[in-house]
Chains A and B, each alone.
Chain A
Amino acid sequence: IMTAWSETPTKWYPLPLAVGALLLVALQYHKKSKRAREVDVNEDGLEVIKLKGPWHVHVIGALPLRNMSRLWGYVNSLELPVWFRPYGLRLYAYAFGCNLDEIEPKDLREYPSLGAFFYRKLKDGARPVDPAILVSPADGTILHFGTIQESRVEQVKGITYSLDALLGVERPGSPSSMTTVVEHNRDMSIVDDREFANVNGIEYSLEQLIGSSSPPTPGTTTPTDSNASSSSETLPSSPTTEQENLHIPHKVGDRTDASVGSDRNAEETLVHDASVALQMGVKPSLERKRSATSGKHVRPGNSLFFTVIYLAPGDYHRFHSPTAWVVEKRRHFMGELFSVSPWMAKRLENLFVLNERVALLGRWKHGFFGMVPVGATNVGSIKINFDQDLRTNVRGKRAPPGTYTEAVYSAASPLLRGQPLVPAEEMGGFCLG
């Protein structure tokens, strides 16, 4: 053997390029089919989400993370002595890099607990809003971003999870999903199919509200609907200009100015909604016939994109609207509360579909828009300002993995059939525990 190994001459032959290409194709096919076999599906053909990862991930998975999270929340809600607050909170701020110059209120003695400080507010103007179409909804670190291919979202390089599992799939009649309509007690409705809104009995012309008073910019037709694009409707181009040009008609109908005074809140609401409509570049009468898609069917010329933002313990933990959009529904997925740190994201597959999360689904200027705050061990509670019924990280019997409870916000705005939000508008936040 030694002689043969050392004395046999090596003769090299050229390998045809086609053979090499075929070999690569075969290897790729084998890899893909192996990955497909590894995905477990249930009787409905939906992927079954399981804990996958190295042994230390399974060890962490065996811990009572939800109970730990609630205990953590309780401990941090305990009131601190007033004399201790400046020292304790300054130490926390120093350890986690919080900027105390931008918080409101600035006096640390006004924060009764670490939990209250964690959910702190920022001073007005502390975060200038860029005029770009998509802005950051939170302070944090970009973990990943890109396009979604074949309904798989990339968690880290080479590890993906299902878009259906993240956002939920429509399953009418499924006993495990429950839909409720979140009522917003506003006396405001659309008067039949005409372009008028009724606010506490006063009719407002939507045409006036939505900006016919603004100078139209030639060539900017609404891009949201094939029917709309065939119309001669023109929309102003600059959101800033549009907002500035919005006005409230003091009298539309038979009321006098004096009687309108008591309806200010409803008017402001209407103007806010109209402002969102303008920034989205839509006409409410068309939007009323729309509903959110699941994001699976994009329009021709469009693609699906994603981005993941990680909020570290010292970051400001409220989140804001990333664009002008309308939230049509929320789906609350009860789940685990693993840490979502970059370390864990690299090791635990399906992390973002295993954890408790709130999927807010709706639409923006370009079609489907979804925002998913995902809880973690230390921050299991997710608050949504316009949804007081939402309760996350609660004790009790947990729903099976992958199921969710759903609420629809169609009553929030009769103009837009959902909860309208302007860019950087505060939406909610994460609380300790």
Chain B
Amino acid sequence: STIVLVFEAPSDFEFNIHAGDKVKVGQALGD
């Protein structure tokens, strides 16, 4: 299964993840 998030954010929004990273519920994806 997969979850796709699509969202509007200020253009300077930055992800702090990388493709292939393992993530857990509640872990920061970006700011």
A94 interface hit (Cβ, 8 Å): no
Of the listed stretches A31-39, A72-80, A302-310, chain B binds: A302-310
- Restricting to A115-144, which residues have a CB under 8 Å from any CB of B? 122, 127-130, 132-144
A153, A302, A376: the one contacting B9 at CB < 8 Å is A302
Q: How far is the CA of A57 from the CA of B22 in the complex (A)?
A: 27
Are A375 and B1 in contact, CB atoms less than 8 angstroms apart?
yes
Are B28 and A319 in contact, CB atoms less than 8 angstroms apart?
no
Are B10 and A127 in contact, CB atoms less than 8 angstroms apart?
no
Q: How far is the CA of A302 from the CA of B8 in the complex (A)?
A: 6
Which residue of chain A is the closest to B5 with respect to CB atoms? A307
Are B17 and A307 in contact, CB atoms less than 8 angstroms apart?
yes
A122, A145, A340: the one contacting B2 at CB < 8 Å is A340
- Restricting to B1-31, which residues have a CB under 8 Å from any CB of A? 1-11, 13, 15-31
Which residue of chain A is the closest to B6 with respect to CB atoms? A370
In whole Å, how far is B13's beta carbon from the nearest beta carbon of chain A? 6
Of the listed stretches A172-180, A198-206, A293-301, chain B binds: A293-301
Are A317 and B28 in contact, CB atoms less than 8 angstroms apart?
no
In whole Å, how far is B11's beta carbon from the nearest beta carbon of chain A? 5
Chain A residues, Cβ within 8 Å of B24: 127, 136, 139
Of the listed stretches A214-222, A281-289, A361-369, chain B binds: A361-369
Chain B residues, Cβ within 8 Å of A295: 6-8
Chain B residues, Cβ within 8 Å of A134: 5, 7, 9, 28-31
Knowing A133-B31, A145-B15 are in contact, say whether A319-B6 is a contact too (CB < 8 A): no
Chain A residues, Cβ within 8 Å of B18: 142
Q: How far is the CA of A307 from the CA of B10 in the complex (A)?
A: 16
A196 interface hit (Cβ, 8 Å): no
Chain A: how many interface residues by the 8 Å CB criterion?
61
In whole Å, how far is B9's beta carbon from the nearest beta carbon of chain A? 5
- Render A319-354 as a binary contact track against B, CB cut-off 8 A, 1 for contact: 110100000000000000000100000000000100
Chain B residues, Cβ within 8 Å of A182: none
A144, A148, A303, A308: the one contacting B3 at CB < 8 Å is A308
Q: How far is the CA of A373 from the CA of B2 in the complex (A)?
A: 6
Chain A residues, Cβ within 8 Å of B29: 132, 134-136, 145, 307, 322
A246 interface hit (Cβ, 8 Å): no
Knowing A340-B1, A376-B1 are in contact, say whether A304-B6 is a contact too (CB < 8 A): yes
A235 interface hit (Cβ, 8 Å): no
Chain A residues, Cβ within 8 Å of B22: 140-141
Knowing A305-B13, A373-B1, A379-B1 are in contact, say whether A127-B26 is a contact too (CB < 8 A): yes
Are A370 and B5 in contact, CB atoms less than 8 angstroms apart?
yes
Question: Which residues of B line the A interface, CB within 8 A?
Answer: 1-11, 13, 15-31
- List 23 interface pairs A-B (beta carbons < 8 Å), by A numbering: A130-B27, A137-B3, A140-B22, A143-B2, A145-B29, A295-B6, A295-B7, A301-B11, A303-B8, A303-B10, A303-B13, A304-B6, A304-B7, A305-B9, A306-B6, A309-B5, A366-B9, A368-B8, A371-B4, A372-B3, A373-B1, A374-B3, A374-B4
Name the 3 nearest CB pairs between A and B, nearest first: A132-B28, A367-B8, A129-B26
